[in-house]
Amino acid sequence: MSQQSRHPDQPEPSYSLPPYIREEIADFPQPGLQLGNVGPLDFPQLVFGAATLSTIYNTEGLLQSDIPVRTVRLALRYGIRGFDTSPYYGDSEVVLGQCLQALTGEFPRSSYKIITKCGRYGADEFDYTPATIRKSVLRSLKRLGTDYLDVLLLHDVDFVGSPMAPFPLEGFHAKVFTGAAADWGLVPGKESKVWGTGDRRVVEAIGEMRKLKEEGLVRAIGISGYTLPTLLRLAILAANTAPFQPLDTLLSYSHYTLQNSAFVTYLPHFVNQAKLQQVFCASPLSMGLLTANPPPWHPAPGKLKEVAKNAYERVKEWPGELPNLAVGYTLKREGEIMGCDKGLTVPTVIGLSNLHEVHEALALWREVNNLTTDGVPRRYAEGLVKSVFQENGYLDWSWNCPPGFRKSNSLPLSPASRTA
């Protein structure tokens, strides 16, 4: 990803919609099964991953066209009335905000929900200080054209929280509960333990987020990240730190996919131990790993990328190829409870870049959730993909996050030590 700083102290980017926004046949939904809202936070089953509204995934030319606003409009018309963004995602908040404001006549603010994040502003740029958390949220509100956020997440806490486990962090995170729980601080009696400076920074940031919630600027708060045992430990820590209230939610990415479904093992622990109301899973394509051309910045090791390419070739004759299978796998399984003691369903955050991808996502969601559809061929093809990862030792395997993580956990976290 770009090294450009997105810290609240940096100048604001400018963005304006084109003067004319087309409306054609492709701008309207196809008839079929309707999306519903799920869980205590009342989010749609599919959430629009708005990192696509930036040069991380798309070109400047596309962003300057009417495609972003038409894509957002079509998603809203289909019932995808939830959006996930972040200051870290380049101009995403700015572009999304302009699109939503342009559509106010058809979709007022009360008709959709917004998730954004705070704390991460560059590849190695984290600022969890309370003053910056507040400044970041106020900027996000302005960018998004709203006076409240439905969900605020502390971004990528696994980069900041105190290191626990033996290094490296890569491996089979689902096995933590069968012998390595103590290595990750996931043992009885340690729920409130702050293991170092990183943990203190997370706790302080969450404290400011609680104040923003009390002031009505934010309606729910939580954390996001990749490393599942770290997410669980920090969510438990938050619930066992004054004022002893659990977080509302958590977002995990790339762990509910054909390559790695360890999220399913952690879901009951997120609900029963961390007392979260609802959990989100993101990135069915594992940030592009399960596509023909993973982005060059993807953090997976080269060997895993090679295995993913082999998996892609193994099912190339499937209509829509591996991306179709991968997204279908995640969408069919959203809502698995797997031992949770409450009727919790899991919204899926999926990146959408254009009208075709919106239509395709809804068609796929309808297909895999249609009880009359013969799912045997799809399950067989999914099994082929999983077998490729299993044969090479990468099924349910998680890469090191952060890459090259240091025991000192000395990432720049304060204004004095930031790097642009």
Catalytic residue among 89, 226, 253, 312: 89
Residue 348: phi, psi to the nearest 5? -105, 125
Which ranges of 215-342 would DSSP assign to H, the alpha helix?
228-239, 263-272, 302-314, 321-333
Q: Helix or strand or coil: residue 139?
A: helix
Tell me if 417 sits within 8 A of 128, measured CB to CB: no
Q: Which residues contact 142 (CB under 8 A, 6 or more apart)?
A: none
Q: Helix or strand or coil: residue 225?
A: strand
DSSP states along 32-84? SPPP-EETTTTEESEEEEGGGSSTTTS-HHHHHSSHHHHHHHHHHHHT--EEE
CA distance 299 to 227: 13
Residue 266: phi, psi to the nearest 5? -85, -20
> 249: part of which helix (H) or strand (E)?
strand 249-253
- Within 13 A of 125's CA, how many CA atoms are on the CB side? 23
Measure the CA angle with vertex 181, ends 178 and 187; round to 5°: 125
Write a three-state SS string for 292-325. CCCCCCCCCCHHHHHHHHHHHHHCCCCCCHHHHH
89 given a catalytic annotation = yes
CA distance 371 to 33: 11
Number of Cβ within 10 Å of residue 235's Cβ equals 25
CA distance 141 to 90: 16
Burial class (CB in 10 A: 0-12, 13-18, 19+), 372: exposed
Q: At what angle do helices 130-144 and 197-214 cross, to 10 degrees?
A: 50
The residue length of the chain stands at: 420
Q: Which residues of 71-107 are buried (b: 16+ CB within 10 A; e: fewer)?
A: bbbbbbbbbbbbbbbbbbbbbbbbbbbbbbebbeeeb
- Catalytic residue positions, numbered: 89
